[in-house]
Homo-oligomer: A and B are copies of this chain.
Amino acid sequence: MVKNVSFNDARDGVADCLKCSLRESVLFAKLKDEVFEQLHDPIDQYTLPVGSTLYRTGDEGGRMYTVRSGILKLVQYLPDGSQRIVRLIRSTDITGLESILGETYQHDAVVLQETEVCALPVRVVENLSKDNPALHRELLNRWQRALNEADAWLTELSTGSAKQRVARLLLRLVKDTQESQCSLFAREDMGAMLGITTETASRTIAEFKRQSLLVETTPNQFLLDIPNLQRIAED
């Protein structure tokens, strides 16, 4: 069990959106330079260590977050206390969208790999989207993206045998990148993503290693045998 670290003191400073290296792929991609200069509400940047919590279920955040780098898990809990990871948030993703509706956060957002985020006050996003149809449309896109992701987790990661699920998770982790290289999560987290136990996750990964479907190049960096993993994922 990972201890809860707050991120109060992780503030790096005010982001310079104009010079943002992710400007192309971020929520604000379509905005003109002039618009940024109207921003009097500053956009804060944070760096969050592994195990820290960006926000918690039920918090009244009032902020959405753009992830610049790193990985977060969105976690929900069952009445019996067991956890289920419902989504991963990665570079260029946005999380906490629900706060724009005035809702409290629906998940715990916990850092799996050191993460840099920009905090966007809801007020700012609302104002901007009011007279920026492009931004507004981008918001809808993000919502739909989250929904597609949620559906994919159901269909791909919560259906079929443990071997299939693990294979599909691995393929998902490298899909975007050209590389067939990726790093893995703690077995407990993999279990919580796939709806299987920690032990089953571990056994499956261990077996994949023995079959050279996974080869560890450097610590926690794995090369995947994509064709054979695909065969497992599909049949």
A contact set with B: CB distance below 8 Å: 76-80, 82, 84, 86-87, 97-98, 100-101, 103, 106-107, 137, 139-141, 143-144, 146-148, 150-151, 153-156, 158-160, 195, 233-235
Classify the secondary structure of A's interface with B.
helix
Besides the known contacts A86-B155, A106-B147, A140-B140, 9 further A-B residue pairs in the complex with CB atoms under 8 A apart = A76-B151, A82-B159, A86-B151, A87-B151, A101-B144, A140-B143, A153-B154, A154-B154, A195-B195
State the oligomeric state as a number of copies.
2
Q: What are 20 A-B residue pairs whose CB atoms fall within 8 Å in the complex?
A: A76-B154, A76-B155, A78-B234, A79-B234, A82-B159, A84-B155, A86-B151, A87-B151, A98-B144, A98-B147, A100-B140, A101-B141, A106-B148, A140-B140, A143-B147, A146-B147, A150-B150, A150-B154, A159-B195, A195-B195
- In the assembled complex, how far is the CB of residue A103 from the closest CB belonging to chain B, in whole angstroms? 7
Docked complex Cα distance between A195 and B195 (Å)? 11
CB distance from A200 to the nearest CB of B (A): 14
* Residue from B140, B150, B154 in contact with A147 in the complex, judged by beta carbons closer than 8 Å: B150
Q: A82's closest neighbor in chain B, by CB?
A: B159
Min CB distance A202 to B, Å, is 19
How many angstroms from the CA of A106 to the CA of B155 in the assembled complex?
12
